[in-house]
Structure 1
Amino acid sequence: MLSCCVAPDVSTTGEMLSEEEFLRKEAMLLEEEIRAAGMEHLLGEHRVDMGEALKTDPAFRPLTEAELDALVEAEIARTGGLEEPDWGSMTWMDEGMEPFPNQQPIPPVPAVPEDAPVVKAVLVGPTYKTSKHSMPLLGRLEVLLGSVGALEDILVALQHAKVRTPELKILTDAKKTGGWPVAHEAPTRKNILSSMQWLVQDAKPGDSLLFFFAGHAGQSRDTDGDEQDGQDEHICPVIQAQHPKFASAFDGSLEKEEADDLVGRGISDDEIFGVMLKDLPEGVRLTTIFDACHSQTLADLAHSYEVQVEGDEMARAKRQEPPPPGFSFDKRPLTHKDVKGKECAASVLCLAGCKDRETQQTWCDQSGRGMRGAFFLTNMLAKAIAGMRTPNPSYADVLREITRDFYRGNRLNMSIPSFSTSSAVDLDAKPFSFVGPL
């Protein structure tokens, strides 16, 4: 059994390591231990010896679709996911504070003019149903019941932003009543990478593109020295555990590319940049949205912006205490930090749900009857673009509103959302848009 935390031995150094140095050495030692033990697979923050799991786990077998659906329904019932909380009994409601943002529905979608600007888009929303239940040892890669809601919300956000998406790809393993607006594909590694290539192929000045991902993400040790924290970030495709060749992915009989696709090897920030951003010409606008853990630098951009959250505010959030009277992020300035990013000629904006070192929760929307699974960042983005609090919000206003709502409505796991850009910009200067230069 591998230990989940390996403390680096610093007794011979004669000096005390900083917290960052300690964590980096700890991660390196853990990875070395795992690599020595056998085949490594990274899922979010969890590393598992996949080869050993296949050899020794008698419970391993592909499940039928009916069995998978039954297990998900049982998980919903077990967690009380269909019960309506008693909002009126909560202390912050008794104090006369405004309702939490997840109690406020997104306004009705206005009609999009036929001559509205066009955005070419790829939307990825895996549920990981097969990933969780086909291999018991990988059970900590949780099923994301909010994937349908996340895809619905980003589509609504695009409509509120008054853009058309005649070229649209949706990658999901989620079913939706009434179906999706276009035929959808499975969010496998191969399909996600090919959709990224499709998104940017033949891009020319004046084009506007969108890549959206709501799912699991993780970190692994940086191997080329381009990360300040020594960690690469990656998004997690689905595992194809029911594929007839799945077991062959571990015996060396398949080409690496096919094996990686079947086991759902993460798509790293280096790969994301190389496929989508590296060769985009000047004059193209690309927006990337990563509603996931460890997401701040998934686009590897050089300029990062966030709303300053003070230490006492973070401490209050972690104690699950309501904000003090008069609390507001509305006029708070953004902080700008240059990070170790890559050069990109295009105009690129990346919205991330948290810092690279942070994890992020999914969330349920309480605004309608019952509960609807959703992703917090995407839901708050749609509400900000709809102008629920600030008409015609700037890029900075959108970030302030999301940060405010993260603080108020996601206090169980407070994380810091951010924008990052390919070049330094004034995010207060222009209204938010999915089209045009920043």
Structure 2
Amino acid sequence: MSTDERMNPSNKFVLMKDTRGYSCGRCRQRLFPITINVSEIQFQCPACQRVASSPGRPYEGSCNNTADGRVSNVVQKYRNKFFGCHDRQNSDSEKPNSLNWNPSPLQSSSSPSSSRSDQRPRKRALLIGVTYKKWKYRLKGTVNDVRNMRSLLIESFGFKPQNILVLTEDETEPNLTPTKKNIEISLQWLVKDCRRGDSLVFFFSGHGLRQPDFNRDERDGFDETICPVDFLNEGMILDNDINSTIVWPLPEGVTLHSIVDACHSGTILDLVYVYNREKDKWEDNSPPNGTRKHTNGGLAISLSACEDNQMAADTTAFTEKGMNGALTYILIEIVKKHPETTYSDLLDKIHATIDDVNNSGCLFSRVLRSMFHNKILQKPQLSASEPFQVKKKKFIL
């Protein structure tokens, strides 16, 4: 790893550069750009908050290696191709929701026609399902989760297929494989150029793990992670990195919903408030060392499959058609039956459904039967960047 010669003189913050990007020379945190112009790119460390600069213009032109150019190019090839039941003719006939939104396909911010849609609310979603086909701890329900979530967004919330990016191992396009690099680029795409009125969705179904917190910004002493398909070689994606990539940039008027169906996913976005369902109150989850975890004025809401110290089920308990993540399947069924549900009712119904499955004696996968003794031992969790009225605010994506 080499040291970049450019630094911010006032902060004495040195950038460390390797083949995967920049990191803080002091904290070794992965860095993501906060300001980009012709002559330089500025980074801010999520741990020590220092800012440094590096030469270059990483998002220039239409190169397929850029966050906008590469992913937008993939989207154009991919649009309306994933799952044959939603061909272009049917998708274009989908009616938008009550926002009276008439979105256009994803465009580069430099496109002359982009200004026509700048003043309109837009919806954009990133759906990731990781099966880990070549690993012994393979998951079988993640692609089903993605398929079901995509249908929900289109049919119930007015998302356009061309604004939904899917990463799974079933995709033939290499850039749509859920590798660490592709996920990181896609996360940047999700929030790029977002503005007031936008509704963004991040969905992940796969393995989640946790590791000791070396930055002292976690109240429980652990960082939560999601596992890309190549995590055994390239490493996991930490909650710190997810927070700095898709939570920090959210401007006022933008809402991000994260739905993560993975083990140890309770605070996977590192949001500063966690809802205690039993006490009906928001609890402080802000970093004890004062590290920035808040948005830039927008609202981030996360629904996680379980608490940070729990495991999540990949199960056949709900349908004979195949495996599904427990949170994803239950959430979708509830929203379809109760489209005007509040966050409080949604949480209560999810917990009640899990209790009903446990009490009914339904058996699911052989591995989970031995681990959980025929029980789904997970408590889905709600967290947010700021408190809101859980019993009054409706769940709308």
Bucket of the pairwise TM-score, normalised by the shorter protein = 0.5 to 0.7
Letter in 2 for 1:406: I
Alpha-carbon distance between aligned partners in 2 of 1:204 and 1:371, rounded to the nearest angstrom: 40
Alpha-carbon distance between aligned partners in 1 of 2:179 and 2:226, rounded to the nearest angstrom: 11
Q: For residue 223 of structure 2, what is the aligned residue in structure 1?
A: 232
Q: Quick check: which one's helix share is greater? A: 1
Q: For residue 324 of structure 2, what is the aligned residue in structure 1?
A: 374
Q: For residue 20 of structure 1, what is the aligned residue in structure 2?
A: none
Give the SS at the match of 2:209.
strand
Q: Are 1:275 and 2:257 an aligned pair?
A: no
Letter in 2 for 1:235: I
Q: For residue 303 of structure 2, what is the aligned residue in structure 1?
A: 351
Give the SS at the match of 2:303.
strand
Q: What is the deviation of 1:174? A: 3.1
Q: Which aligned pairs between 1:247-396 and structure 2 lie closer than 5 A?
A: 263-308=233-278, 334-341=280-287, 342-344=293-295, 345-364=297-316, 366-367=318-319, 370-387=320-337, 390=338, 392-396=340-344
Letter in 1 for 2:392: A
2:199 to 204, 208, 212: 208
Q: What is the deviation of 1:156? A: 2.8
Q: What is the deviation of 1:366? A: 4.6
2:146 to 146, 151, 156: 151
Letter in 1 for 2:385: S
Give the SS at the match of 2:323.
strand
TM-score by length of 1: 0.56
Letter in 2 for 1:413: I
Alpha-carbon distance between aligned partners in 2 of 1:114 and 1:268, rounded to the nearest angstrom: 35
Distance 1:114 1:357, change over 3 A: closer
Gaps of 5+ in 2: 1-92, 102-121, 288-292, 359-373
Alpha-carbon distance between aligned partners in 1 of 2:393 and 2:300, rounded to the nearest angstrom: 15
Listed one character per residue, the Cα deviations across residues 248-298 of structure 1 (whole Å, up to 9, x for unaligned) are xxxxxxxxxxxxx78141000000011111122111111111100111111
Q: Which aligned pairs between 1:85-164 and structure 2 lie closer than 5 A?
A: 112-114=94-96, 117=101, 118-130=122-134, 132=135, 139=136, 142-164=137-159
Alpha-carbon distance between aligned partners in 2 of 1:385 and 1:432, rounded to the nearest angstrom: 8
Give the SS at the match of 1:286.
strand
The structure whose RCO (Cα within 8 Å, separation 6+) is larger is 1
Counterpart contact for 1:305–1:335, Cα < 8 Å: yes
Alpha-carbon distance between aligned partners in 2 of 1:356 and 1:419, rounded to the nearest angstrom: 12
Q: Quick check: which one's strand share is greater? A: 2
Alpha-carbon distance between aligned partners in 1 of 2:163 and 2:174, rounded to the nearest angstrom: 12
Q: What is the deviation of 1:349? A: 0.6
Letter in 1 for 2:265: S
Give the SS at the match of 2:300.
strand
Q: Are 1:191 and 2:182 an aligned pair?
A: yes
Q: What is the deviation of 1:373? A: 1.6
Alpha-carbon distance between aligned partners in 2 of 1:396 and 1:159, rounded to the nearest angstrom: 24
Gaps of 5+ in 1: 1-110, 133-138, 240-260, 309-332
Distance 1:422 1:114, change over 3 A: closer
Give the SS at the match of 2:301.
strand
Alpha-carbon distance between aligned partners in 1 of 2:313 and 2:282, rounded to the nearest angstrom: 25
Q: Are 1:170 and 2:166 an aligned pair?
A: yes
Alpha-carbon distance between aligned partners in 2 of 1:268 and 1:274, rounded to the nearest angstrom: 10
Q: What is the deviation of 1:372? A: 1.3
Alpha-carbon distance between aligned partners in 1 of 2:145 and 2:312, rounded to the nearest angstrom: 14
Alpha-carbon distance between aligned partners in 2 of 1:376 and 1:262, rounded to the nearest angstrom: 25
Q: Which one has the largest radius of gyration?
A: 1
Give the SS at the match of 2:149.
helix
Distance 1:426 1:366, change over 3 A: closer
Letter in 2 for 1:223: F
TM-score by length of 2: 0.62
Letter in 2 for 1:154: M
Q: What is the number of residues matched between the two proteins? A: 262
Counterpart contact for 1:122–1:211, Cα < 8 Å: yes
Distance 1:373 1:280, change over 3 A: same
Counterpart contact for 2:317–2:357, Cα < 8 Å: no
Distance 1:289 1:366, change over 3 A: closer
Alpha-carbon distance between aligned partners in 1 of 2:141 and 2:212, rounded to the nearest angstrom: 29
